Copies of this chain bind each other. A is one copy, B any other.
Amino acid sequence: MESSGMSHNNFSNKTSKTPEYTAPAVTVAANVLRYLSGHRVGPRSLADISDAIGANRSTCYRVLHTLRANALVSYNPSTKQYSVGPYLIVLGERAKESTELYTVIADRLGDIVESTKLTAVLAQRVNNDEFIYLSKNEPHEHPHISVMVGQSFPLTAGSHGKCFLAWMEPKEVRKVLRRIGLPRYTERSITDPDQYLAELNKVREVGYAVSIEEHFPGIFGIAVPILDPKAHAEYVITSIGMANLVTPSIIQSTVSAMTRVANQIIAQVYGPINVKS
């Protein structure tokens, strides 16, 4: 299965609402990097890039020139095309190193896949209203659901969303719901705020969230939070599979495999956890 059907917009440009606090050229730079790093995007010309990101040609040229001087993009003078630059590799490695949790969790996704034979995903909240897929591990078995690292989604979407919100302050949950609402993605999406809040209570109680076709038709997700010592979930791990194959016993075995790994991760990063819950 391909991820193209699971596409959402990338980060919505929220900064446009508060122009006094933004650096427009940096927004263009971020858009350039996000575009060039797309999975089906190889090296591209200036015209391709400025068209794709909807930026003025000469602004785009100056941004590319500056990114190039910093090795954040590469330029091939014979083809006159730009591509992602080597210094991004360095920055990415540093970002990983400085995020111990990321490294620990990403390393353990394979264990979950081994137990569940489902696609395992690590998601992180990246701003007030979105989370992104930071890392994934897919089973060797075919067919399986394939997802795209780097994709962003509204914070309330799917089983991940329920996990992020379930361990948030009620006041913040209300703000998030007010800002992004509960869109109808499928026939099974929960769009009623009261019903959604009741669902969040249940999620917090049982320690995991399930979404069967609530976000994408044909897909189910089971999500478990990686709780920090304050019981907040900046990271959520999810197992994703085909909805027509899900059964109560698959949910139960998936939850138990994921919870085991999540507890090991938490113990490794924050020290032993209380023998409660």
Q: Which of B22, B65, B89 contacts A92 (CB 8 A)?
A: B89
Between A93, A102, A127, the greatest number of chain B beta carbons within 10 A of the residue's beta carbon is seen for A93
- Interface membership of A71, Cβ < 8 A: yes
Chain A positions 47-100 with a Cβ under 8 Å from a chain B Cβ? 59, 61-63, 65-72, 83-96, 98-99
Chain-B contact segment, one of A23-31, A183-191, A198-206: A23-31
Chain B residue at smallest Cβ distance from A39: B94
- Interface membership of A14, Cβ < 8 A: yes
| Interface size class, chain A | 35 or more
- Interface membership of A223, Cβ < 8 A: no
Between A91, A98, A132, the greatest number of chain B beta carbons within 10 A of the residue's beta carbon is seen for A91
B26 touches A94 (CB 8 A): no
A66 touches B150 (CB 8 A): no
A126 touches B23 (CB 8 A): no
B26 touches A126 (CB 8 A): no
Chain B residue at smallest Cβ distance from A124: B86
Complex CA–CA separation, A218 to B65 (angstroms):
38
Q: A13-B69, A30-B67 are in contact. Are A126 and B22 (CB under 8 A)?
A: no
B21 touches A61 (CB 8 A): yes
Chain B residue at smallest Cβ distance from A235: B86
A23 shortest CB reach to chain B, Å:
4
Q: Which of B29, B66, B126 contacts A87 (CB 8 A)?
A: B126
- Which residues does chain B contribute within 8 Å of A69, judged by CB atoms? 11, 13-15, 22, 27, 127
B95 touches A85 (CB 8 A): yes
Q: A70-B11, A86-B124, A150-B90 are in contact. Are A63 and B26 (CB under 8 A)?
A: yes
Q: A65-B15, A66-B26 are in contact. Are A37 and B95 (CB under 8 A)?
A: yes
Given contact pairs A25-B25, A30-B67, A71-B127, enumerate 8 new A-B contacts (beta carbons under 8 Å).
Answer: A21-B62, A23-B28, A23-B63, A27-B66, A34-B87, A86-B126, A87-B132, A91-B150
21 pairs, A vs B, C-beta closer than 8 Å: A15-B65, A21-B65, A22-B62, A22-B65, A23-B28, A23-B29, A26-B26, A26-B62, A26-B63, A29-B29, A30-B67, A30-B70, A38-B94, A71-B127, A71-B132, A84-B98, A86-B99, A86-B124, A87-B150, A88-B91, A89-B95
Q: Which residues does A use to contact B, with CB under 8 Å? A: 11, 13-15, 21-30, 33-34, 37-39, 42, 59, 61-63, 65-72, 83-96, 98-99, 102, 124, 126-127, 132, 134-135, 149-150
